[in-house]
């Protein structure tokens, strides 16, 4: 299947070349390093220079003692002082600029991954993630930050190994025996750190997953606080969050314990190792094998070794976190598309037909909505209604039978083509932060007459009239600044503004009063079907015939429909006008009048 991506702004610079999507967390980390190998090389060179200069500091002090302090040579002392100034300047600026290069690469890659997550969620076909909005936010922020930290980790660990190598070489030059001891002992300390890494990796992955889950629950509770209060569900939501938070806390403590064990074991082994080196150096000095300056240099180098060893231990811990976050990101990005699609054009007309569709609660559903028809559907089982909408959105393929648009199976249609010809507006539709105008007409494509007609047909003009700034009235995220009925009317206005050849609505009037419901029914019929059974003509109605399928139990909508279909046990059990079915079908009468 072909995947359509969001179109970029034509005035924006061309996007960078996108690598193939990684299949594992390790592949994502390698892709990050490959993308920024130039900056990574620069950061490595500069930070390695800092580490080499750090290793040279005790050597420079030892040389100063032997050749300037012990001899009293002022000229050598002045040269040594100037050399120290140069050494510390290079040391300071190399770390500063090396860190800047590494941080720039990290921030660039973090932005790319956040864009990749957003692209996956906002792709025209959608994403079947099953993640809470708060979890997605955690992935795009915390996990993206932690995963891309691998750039700085690798630069620092490589620089630490470079510093260790230089220190060992200097010790071998000063005293071969001490150099041999360090050459054998340093890998042992690093192997001890590495042996503790797998346990830390596992615990870090569990902790990050549970923290993200708790964050997602917290975000959703805060977002839905008003409806929770309305149904008295605060206690249940709080209990769920407390459980998730406690699990996250336990996992975090376990991770911190493993990380502490790693740092403690590495630090303890390093200190013991360095104490042995210092003791051996002291004995060598007493025996006359080392001068005072060489002893100072050896002790200083031994002390310096603790820094790169600790950096390597920190890198192991940080890599564990980066790998865990990368695994979570890859798992999320690998989730399949929500809507199935192919590449066939919708050139066979706009008649929607379901032919003997089986799947879930649907058991042989057959119906057709011809161009120009307003068809109402009364469904006894909410699960059947939900499955029907999933089939019409091509989120699922029927187990048997076919759902077609103009004779072409919905899941074989080109995605953009299907969206242009068919709009399925669910019962729960999100509104976005902005203004009423932004939510009704996001593209700004409607002229004033058409916009006013859409607002009147959906009764959203009352919402506009109540706003202090009319269409410029701000709307909070998720439409939380509007009541349920206002949200429903604005969402219906947006669906009508799109004006697709085929429009499917799911219970569009459940949150409005009876008077508004009657007005919406008349407005919908008048706007999309001006020459229907009502016989009236609407001046702003589109020219081509429009088809509308409404899943509803509203008597007002049912009365204006050209045909009413009653679904029972997954199939059409009765068909006719609302008045005829009320008069002849007791089961239908019970379904709509209960």
3-class secondary-structure state, position 551 = strand
Match 């019929």 to its residue by tokens.
525
| Tokens matching residue 555 | 């008597």
Q: Would the pTM count as exceeding 0.85?
A: no
Dist CA 212 CA 446 (whole Å): 41
Dist CA 52 CA 50 (whole Å): 6
Confidence (pLDDT) at 487: 92
| Tokens matching residue 172 | 């071998």
Given a cut of 70, the residues of the chain with pLDDT beneath it are: 1-20, 132, 183, 186-187, 189-209, 211-213, 215-234, 252, 255-263, 265-267, 313, 348, 531-544
Confidence (pLDDT) at 537: 40
Q: What are the backbone dihedrals phi and psi of residue 473, each rounded to the nearest 5 degrees, phi first?
A: -65, 130
Alpha carbon of residue 107 to chain centroid: 16
CA angle 585, 530, 576 (to 5 degrees): 15
3-class secondary-structure state, position 429 = coil
| Tokens matching residue 105 | 């690469």
Domains of the chain (ranges; CATH) run 25-333 (1.20.1560.10), 352-429+499-593 (3.40.50.300)
Burial of 414 (0-12, 13-18, 19+ CB in 10 A): middle
Chain segment 466-501, per-residue pLDDT in tens: 988 989 999 987 788 888 899 999 999 999 999 999
Confidence (pLDDT) at 15: 46
Q: What are the backbone dihedrals phi and psi of residue 126, each rounded to the nearest 5 degrees, phi first?
A: 75, 180
Dist CA 215 CA 256 (whole Å): 19
Sign of CA dihedral 200, 201, 203, 209: positive
């Amino acid at each position: 299947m072909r995947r359509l991506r969001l179109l970029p702004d034509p005035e924006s610079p061309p996007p960078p070349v996108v690598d193939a999507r990684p299949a594992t967390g390790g592949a994502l980390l390698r892709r990050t390093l490959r993308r920024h190998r130039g900056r990574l090389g620069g950061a490595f060179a500069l930070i390695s220079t800092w580490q080499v200069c750090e290793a040279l500091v005790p050597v420079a002090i030892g040389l100063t003692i032997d050749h300037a302090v012990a001899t009293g040579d002022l000229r050598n002392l002045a040269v040594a002082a100037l050399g120290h100034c140069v050494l510390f300047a290079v040391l300071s600026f190399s770390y500063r600029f090396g860190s800047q290069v590494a941080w720039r690469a990290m921030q660039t890659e973090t932005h790319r991954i956040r864009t990749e997550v957003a692209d996956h969620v906002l792709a025209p076909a959608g994403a079947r993630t099953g993640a809470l909005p708060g979890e997605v936010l955690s992935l795009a922020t915390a996990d993206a930050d932690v995963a891309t930290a691998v750039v700085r980790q690798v630069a620092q660990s490589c620089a630490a190994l470079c510093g260790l190598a230089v220190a060992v070489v200097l010790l071998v030059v000063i005293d071969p025996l001490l150099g041999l001891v360090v050459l054998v002992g340093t890998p042992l300390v690093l192997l001890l750190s590495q042996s503790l890494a797998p346990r830390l990796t596992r615990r870090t992955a569990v902790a990050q997953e549970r923290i993200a889950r708790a964050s997602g629950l917290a975000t959703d509770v805060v977002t839905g606080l008003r409806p929770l209060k309305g149904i008295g569900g605060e206690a249940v939501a709080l209990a769920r969050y407390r459980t998730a938070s406690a699990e996250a806390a336990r996992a975090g403590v376990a991770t911190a314990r493993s990380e502490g064990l790693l740092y403690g074991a590495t630090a303890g082994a390093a200190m013991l190792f360095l104490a042995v080196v210092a003791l051996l150096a002291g004995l060598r000095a007493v025996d006359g094998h080392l001068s005072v300056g060489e002893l100072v240099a050896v002790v200083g180098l031994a002390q310096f070794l603790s820094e790169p060893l600790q950096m390597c231990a920190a890198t192991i811990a940080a890599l564990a976190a980066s790998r865990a976050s990368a695994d979570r990101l890859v798992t999320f990005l690998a989730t399949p598309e929500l809507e199935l699609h192919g590449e066939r054009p919708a050139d066979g007309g706009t008649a929607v037909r379901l032919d003997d569709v089986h799947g879930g609660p649907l058991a042989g559903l057959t119906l057709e909505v011809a161009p120009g028809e307003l068809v109402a559907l009364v469904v006894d089982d909410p699960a059947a209604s939900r499955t029907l909408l999933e089939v019409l959105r091509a989120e699922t393929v029927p187990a048997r039978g076919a759902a077609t648009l103009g004779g072409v199976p919905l899941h074989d249609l080109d995605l953009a083509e299907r969206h242009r010809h068919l709009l399925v507006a669910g019962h729960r539709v999100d509104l976005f932060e902005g203004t009423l105008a932004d939510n009704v007409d996001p593209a700004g494509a409607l002229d004033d007459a058409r916009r006013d007609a859409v607002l009147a047909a959906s009764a959203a003009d009352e919402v506009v009239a109540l706003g202090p700034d009319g269409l410029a009235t701000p709307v909070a995220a998720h439409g939380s600044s509007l009541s349920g009925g206002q949200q429903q009317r604005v969402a219906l206005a947006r669906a009508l503004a799109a004006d697709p050849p085929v429009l499917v609505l799911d219970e569009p009037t459940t949150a409005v009063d009876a008077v508004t419901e009657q007005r919406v029914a008349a407005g919908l019929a008048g706007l999309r079907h001006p020459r229907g059974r009502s016989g009236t003509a609407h001046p702003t109605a589109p020219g081509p015939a429009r088809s509308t399928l409404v899943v509803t139990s509203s008597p007002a909508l049912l009365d204006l429909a050209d045909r009413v279909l009653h679904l029972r046990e997954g199939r059409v059990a009765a068909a006719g006008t609302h008045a005829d079915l009320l008069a002849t079908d007791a089961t239908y009468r019970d379904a709509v009048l209960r």
